[in-house]
Amino acid sequence: MATIEERGAIDRPEFGAGWREFPWWLIAIIAFLILMGYLMITVEEYSRVFEFVVGRVNSPSVLPDEGFYAFIGQGISITIYTTLVAFIVAMVIGLVTGLGRISSNVLIRNIATTYVEFIRGVPTLVLIFTLAFVLVPETVNLIGLDYVLPMNTRALVALAIIYGAFLAEIFRAGIESIPTGQMEAARSVGMTYGQAMRYIILPQAIRNIMPALGNDFIAMLKDSSLVSVLAVRDITQQARLYAGSSFRFRETYLVLTFLYLTMTLVLSLILRWSERRLNQDR
């Protein structure tokens, strides 16, 4: 039988390791979120801000006024919808451009590189203005459509085009991370370049870039706040409107911070968890 002292001596290093590994940062962030939640429930001004920012009162009527959107709020719906749809479009653009970046065709490669470098060389905020006010409407005119795109759509297109360039670099890096032997083996049994890409290279590449894609999804959720400069009524724009008319800056921007932090925290926890699972069965 071990004495208490002896067991303590054995246990202590393990306790120390657990203490070091414990996610204290998570506790700190959750504490902030709980505090904010408490304020929003108990303090009337905070709950009024919350209702307005997520868009449950005085909200724009771009989305149906009843049902789900109205329940979770028009503002937050716009934020989530814009992020999701723009990201899906950006994935398509990114994949095509990423493939273009490694194409052996000089023209295709240069078109893809021009696009990527153009986007990377201009600040995101400036790009949102340029795309939404210049490039998107003029492209619509150019293809002969007599149609004024709503700002929400322009904002979405702008985000997709900007993130398409970032994702293209991720896709390119992912494809280049697969050893050349894989392409050679696939080609050596008679597969075409396209078949080898689709069935051999991309499935492996996408697995490798899942963490990077997840990070960019979170980054996009945050950058979706920039569409507020186009007067798209996402949660940031709602907050600006509220703060501007009530001068309740502290309450408004703390609630806005709370909203983004909640969403990004949930996403980043999902991301960590799925990464761990991916690594387990590797």
Partner 1 sequence: MNTAIIQVEKLHKYFGTIRAVIDVNLEIQRGEVVVIVGPSGSGKSTVLRCINHLEVPTQGAVFVDGVHLEDRATDINEVRAEVGMVFQQFNLFPHLTTLENITIAQRLVRKRSKSEAIANARQQLERVGIPEKADAYPRQLSGGQQQRVAIARALAMNPKIMLFDEPTSALDPEMIKEVLDVMLDLAREGMTMVVVTHEMGFARAAASRVVFMDDGRVVEVARPDVLFNNPKHERTKLFLSKILQH
Q: Name the residues that contact partner 1, by CB under 8 A.
A: 179, 181-182, 184-192, 195, 199-200, 203-204, 207, 282
For residue 214, the minimal CB distance to partner 1 (Å) is: 19
Question: Which of 6, 184 has the CB closer to partner 1?
Answer: 184
Q: Which of 191, 197, 199 is nearest to 95 (CA)?
A: 197
Q: Which residue in the block uniquely carries the two structure tokens 């004024």?
A: 148
CB of 75 to partner 1, least distance (A): 42
| 198, amino acid identity | R
Q: How many CB atoms lie within 10 A of CB 66?
A: 8
Smallest separation, CB 186 to partner 1 (Å): 8
The runs of H, that is alpha helices, within the chain are: 4-21, 24-42, 44-54, 67-72, 74-101, 106-120, 124-129, 136-142, 151-176, 180-188, 193-195, 202-223, 235-246, 249-280
Contact 227, 234 (CB under 8 A): yes
Nearest distance in Å: CB 181, partner 1: 4
Instruction: Name which of 182 and 215 has its Cβ closer to partner 1.
Output: 182
The amino acid occupying position 227 is: V
Shortest distance (Å) from residue 102 CB to partner 1: 18
